């Protein structure tokens, strides 16, 4: 890889900020060169490497938790689409899954993904399509009960068409929310990535029906040129049996 270091004076500091510039190599697309240059100069990528996280995305959940405090010692956490594992790494530390914080409750972290994920100390990771029938039952079985937090940094494969990709990720997020409704304890938290684009209204309405507080946040670690944001829904309210019975009574096709 050919690269060039550019000297730039930092305004007002008298120091030099070294920025890596990547030269285009024969056979490599310009978009790939730009991505590589961005990675090499991304402070979150550098921090992730220095602090042992598997990706810069770890800082997104760190920043969200710093603000909303849902990854507390003793919490039981489900991470949907957990590869490569950065969110699990953060959760393990914060919920005390390894029992390293004396006098604090020990939590559990369950990672779910379609592919194999390298082991993470303190996390239990399973290969599972969460869209499968009875996936929620398997999650509760592995967790030994219900969860306090369900979180998802999943994104559907890009088609290159902005509107289509937006609809895909909203659909994926809605499916994750439905699983959360089945596995969350009362008062629990749901955190998921969405893309701004206008179709998330149905998701917002759904979450506001089932949670006492719903916030939309773009953490500092989320790149400024990205349309991603995160929804943090707190205070889960399970549907009462009476409410379900009323809904069935109003539906002529029910039963």
Does the annotation place 201 within a ligand binding site? no
Which residue shows structure tokens 């699983």?
179
Give 81-133 pLDDT, tens digit per residue. Answer: 999 999 999 999 999 999 999 999 999 999 999 999 999 999 999 999 999 99
Do 169 and 238 belong together in one domain? yes
Is the domain of 146 the same as that of 228? yes
Is 193's pLDDT higher than 50? yes
In a domain, 252, yes or no: no
Residues 30 and 94 in one domain: no
Is residue 251 in a domain? Answer: no
Residue that has been written with the tokens 């992730």 in this structure: 48
Q: Mean pLDDT throughout 158-180?
A: 82
Per-residue pLDDT, 165: 72
Tens-digit pLDDT profile for residues 194-216: 877 655 788 899 999 999 999 99
Question: Is 87 one of the annotated binding-site residues?
Answer: yes
**pTM, rounded to two decimals:** 0.77
The annotation status of 113 as a binding-site residue, yes or no, is yes
Residues 152, 204, single domain; the answer is yes
DSSP-assigned letter for residue 240: P
What are the backbone dihedrals phi and psi of residue 25, each rounded to the nearest 5 degrees, phi first? -100, 155
* 103 φ/ψ sector (left φ>0, alpha ψ -120 to 50, else beta): left
Q: What is the CATH number of the domain that holds 161?
A: 3.40.50.150
Domain membership flag for residue 203: yes
Q: What pLDDT, on the 0 to 100 scale, is given for residue 27? A: 53
The verdict on 151 and 93 lying in the same domain is yes
Q: How many CB atoms lie within 10 A of CB 116?
A: 9
Residue 247 falls inside a structural domain: no
Tell me, yes or no, whether 10 and 97 share the same domain.
no
Instruction: Establish whether 104 is a catalytic residue.
Output: no
Return the closest-CA partner of residue 183 out of 138, 140, 244. Answer: 140
Number of domains, the chain = 2
The crossing angle, in degrees rounded to 10, of helices 162-183 and 135-143 is 50
Query: How far lies 56's CA from each of 67, 175, 227, in Å?
Result: 18, 25, 17
Answer yes or no: do 210 and 137 share one domain: yes
| Domain extent for 206 | 55-242
Of 193, 213, 218, 229, which residue is the catalytic one? 193
């Amino acid at each position: 890889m050919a690269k060039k270091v550019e000297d730039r004076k930092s305004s007002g500091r008298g120091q030099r900020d070294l920025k890596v510039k990547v030269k285009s190599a024969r056979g490599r697309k310009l978009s790939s060169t730009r991505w590589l240059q961005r990675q090499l100069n991304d402070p979150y990528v550098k921090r992730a490497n220095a602090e042992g996280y598997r990706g810069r995305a770890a800082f997104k959940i760190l920043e969200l938790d710093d603000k909303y405090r849902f990854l507390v010692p003793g919490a039981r956490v489900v991470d949907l689409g957990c590869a490569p594992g950065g969110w699990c790494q953060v959760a393990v530390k914060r919920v005390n899954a390894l029992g390293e914080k004396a006098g604090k409750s020990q939590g559990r972290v369950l990672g779910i993904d379609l592919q194999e994920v390298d082991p993470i100390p303190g996390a239990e990771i399973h290969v599972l399509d969460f869209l499968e029938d009875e996936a929620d039952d398997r999650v509760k079985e592995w967790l030994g009960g219900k969860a306090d937090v369900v979180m998802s940094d999943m994104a559907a494969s890009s088609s290159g068409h902005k509107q289509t990709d937006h609809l895909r990720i909203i659909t994926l997020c809605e499916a994750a929310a439905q699983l959360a409704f089945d596995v969350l304890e009362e008062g629990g938290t749901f955190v998921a990535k969405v893309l701004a684009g206008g179709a998330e209204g149905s998701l917002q309405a759904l979450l506001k029906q089932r949670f006492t507080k719903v916030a939309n946040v773009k953490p500092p670690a989320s790149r400024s040129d990205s349309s991603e944001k995160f929804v943090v829904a707190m205070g889960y309210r399970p549907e009462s049996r009476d409410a379900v019975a009323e809904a069935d009574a109003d539906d002529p096709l029910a039963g």
